[in-house]
Amino acid sequence: MIFGGAACAPAPVVVLEVPANYLSVGQQFRPRLVAVEGGTMPATPITLTDAAGNVVAPVGEPATFALPRVGRYQLRAGGQTVALTAVPDASTNYGGVVGIASLGLAPGVGDYLQQHGFAVRPLAADDSPPRLILVGDPRLNGDDSGHDLSANYALLWKQVGAGASLLALEPPSARLAAFWPMNAPLVAAATNCNGEAFGDPFDRGLVGNGAGDIATLLHPPLAYDLTHESALDLYTWEGVRLPRPTRHSGYAGCYPLVTLRLGTGWVTISTLPLLEHFQDARARVYLMNLITAALHRRRPVPASPGMLWIMQRSAAALAALPAAEQSHLLGKLDYRPAPDVGVEPAPRLVPQLGSGVCWQSPTPQRSGASLDLDYSLPPAGSALSVSFGPDHAQWPGAYVFEARGHGASEWTALSPPGPVANGQMDIALPATAGWSDFRLRLTADRGTPWRVCAMDVH
């Protein structure tokens, strides 16, 4: 939708963005008006009305809103309308008072779980093994523990090996895969990836499950490929399935959740984008259901001391790396589609790159889609190295490269690279220290897919 601007200024393409379409009653949210293709942002009032058309909250500019009661609403700005639904919040004693330790979990997520009966606290080195350890970011450096990356890994595997259950809400990035007990590759999830992640007990109590919109909301960008021979026995949730790859064949299917034994504890790794959609009331209830299931499942499978020994050796190898190399391990790739009317684009993890593996974009592609390389700590290096592969037809076309400093909100355009040879280029980074986020952003629509085979800092 195009709003009018000044007579001498270009009229920007403006999108009305909301954090979610399903919100809890009383949940505060802040809509945004974003200029997608430049120009001056016009002053546009945003109005909230209920299903009967009554104005609930007129404002002169974007501000904080809350839906006062259960029902349907509409948010309007200029010629755009976004449909919203208010649902009852979950009970404040949803999970019971159960102690949960956390690593790499955003404070807001922990606060919300505490408001609904879960007792969440950071994992400490002197803890006895907790019933459940909740990991939000597998890079394990987004917490207040005060430990470095290798110390957090050593602590994590020690606690799981002694009997704690671990629930990771995001798969580890390619660089960190060797330090996690999972050798099944990540692949793009099938469209019918429903499996054990989309049934009782995980979707119990969710509101707005018509026409498959829960599965649409939680559709995993990646799933585990268990179709090939595996060295691990992999277990799903009690009472649903028990996939156990044999020496001769794998276990076909699409698995956004995989559980395996480690020592006397358990490790469950999820690829569902729960934290990306945490503002959505349904995603929050799903997360609480997932935690509850992890806390109460039965454990009929023998302990796995061999896997514990492997992970302890991996943690020791990580600790032996210099600090600069440990920092280099913390990058991950996210794909973000171009903003659509009404919803801010959520990131999607990109499958592991390297060793001949290239990531291919969905198609068609709109201007504004991006591939983001995120380092939670600034890496050492002076250039962004990128490879598109040798097939010129699969290069991204019209694009720009941008960088952002650690904790900054504004992106800086990088100098155009020199001629590309065999799809590879090095983009010099400005001398300013502290670059931690990098992205490739399309500047024109594209009807065919494009791909990236490598994106790194050196």
Average pLDDT of the chain, as a whole number: 81
Are both 50 and 150 inside the same structural domain?
no
- The per-residue pLDDT for range 316-335, each reduced to its tens digit, is 999 998 877 887 888 888 89
**Final residue of a structural domain among 38, 68, 87:** 87
> Would you say residue 35 lies in a domain?
yes
244 compared with 313, residue with greater pLDDT = 313
What is the CA angle 121-122-125, rounded to 5?
Answer: 125
CATH code for position 130: 3.40.50
> Quick check: is 7 in a domain?
no
Which of 37, 67, 87 delimits the end of a domain?
87
Ordered alpha helix ranges (H), 99-173 = 107-115, 149-161
DSSP run (H or E) holding 319: helix 305-319
What domain range is 420 assigned to? 330-457
Residues 279 and 166 in one domain: yes
DSSP letter for 330, please: T
| Same-domain pairing of 336 and 418 | yes
pLDDT at position 355 is 64
Reduce the DSSP state of residue 217 to 3 states and report it: helix
Neighbouring residues of 4: CB distance < 8 A, sequence distance ≥ 6: 11, 42
Report pTM: 0.85
Report yes or no on 4 lying in a domain. no
Residues 46 and 152 in one domain: no
- pLDDT tens digits for 217-268? 888 888 887 776 555 555 544 444 444 545 556 667 778 888 888 899 989 8
Find tokens 């960190």 and name the residue: 176
Beta strands in 78-229 (DSSP E): 80-87, 98-103, 118-122, 132-135, 165-168, 186-188, 222-224
User: Confidence band (pLDDT; 50, 70, 90) for 124?
Assistant: confident
Residue 162 has pLDDT above 90, yes or no: yes
Q: Is residue 425 part of a domain?
A: yes
424 inside domain: yes
Residues 338 and 444 occupy one common structural domain:
yes
In this structure, is residue 273 part of a structural domain? yes
User: Cα(336)–Cα(349) distance, rounded to whole angstroms?
Assistant: 9
Q: Say which CATH number the domain at 416 has.
A: 2.60.120.260
Domain boundary (87, 116, 139) is at 87
Does 188 share its domain with 264? yes
In this structure, the answer to whether residues 269 and 378 fall within a common structural domain is no
Domain total of the chain: 3
Are residues 316 and 382 both part of a single domain?
A: no
Both 141 and 179 in a single domain?
A: yes
Q: Domain containing 56 — which CATH number?
A: 2.60.40.1930
- Residue among 397, 401, 332 at smallest CA distance from 366: 397
